[in-house]
Amino acid sequence: PAIAQEDPRIEQVRAHLDLLDDLAVRPPCGQLPEPERWQSAVPPDVGSADPVISAHRGALTLAPENTLWSYVYAFAYGVDLVEVDVQQTKDGRFVAMHDSTVDRTTNGTGAVNSFTYAELRALNAADYEPWKGTEFDPARVASVEEVLRLAARVGGGFELDIKGSVTDEQPLAALVERYGLIEESIFNSADPRILVVAPDANLIYNRDDWEPPFLMYEIARVFAVFGSRLDEYSPESIAAVHDGCGIVMPHAYDAGPENEVAQFHQARAIGADGVQTNQPAANIAAAGMPAA
């Protein structure tokens, strides 16, 4: 629609796409675009035959988040990817920590980047309910290297949600490349420095609700994966992403834990290729791929 073409945000996105496109190396896309389906995708696309499941913060309902056990349990249930929130310590090491402070999930207090790596690893990462006093207590905050070694060992992938304490994403990309996991991993970032180190890195685009389908198609030439809330997607926007050879993995967890499986089925019904979930066991079963 003409009104959408005039949205100033479109040119802002296109300017950044041009910057990234100069650096990114994506596989050739052999998909023939069908712009008419970007206006009316009836019936919706059929997503990936094997749903792509990413465990948000690992299996945080089965083990303490930010610990290696959370990622072990997620991979044990057969997920393709574990999502890891990456923070940087005062001395430049990368660790798994969702919050900007250690207060909620450890026995420490203060910003993550106010601790050295050794100081952070000395904290008890199971010092919160419901994990206090369980078999997981005490536990350590996982280093990114530990999670990379785990993913490499089990043949899994790595979804990096890069937080504000990370001052330079180039060393992080180099670390993922060192473990041979660039192809299997997704960077939740639009920082071009990642592509300087790893031109073939997969970037995830967090959709809002304003981007018209034609722009989603353009974005897919650089961003391999699309995330964000399920209610921000339509069959038409997903068809546009697919025409650009991208995959769509919205959140299944935004409507609450009791609705995750329903959100998975709703996502698949409009053409999504998978989901990001807080309950990997339930969604792996919903996908028809229950773990042994």
Q: What residues act catalytically?
A: 56, 98
Residue 223 is encoded by which pair of tokens?
Answer: 């961003």
**Are 241 and 266 contacting, i.e. CB atoms less than 8 angstroms apart?**
no
What is the Cα–Cα distance from 76 to 73, expressed in whole angstroms? 5
Cis previous bond, 290, omega within 30: no
Helices assigned H by DSSP within 102-258: 117-121, 144-154, 170-178, 192-197, 213-219, 235-243
Angle at 275 between CA 142 and CA 144, to 5 degrees: 15
C-alpha separations of 174 from 179, 197, 205, 235 in Å: 9, 6, 21, 36
What is the Cα–Cα distance from 54 to 62, expressed in whole angstroms? 15
**Three-state secondary-structure class, residue 226:** strand
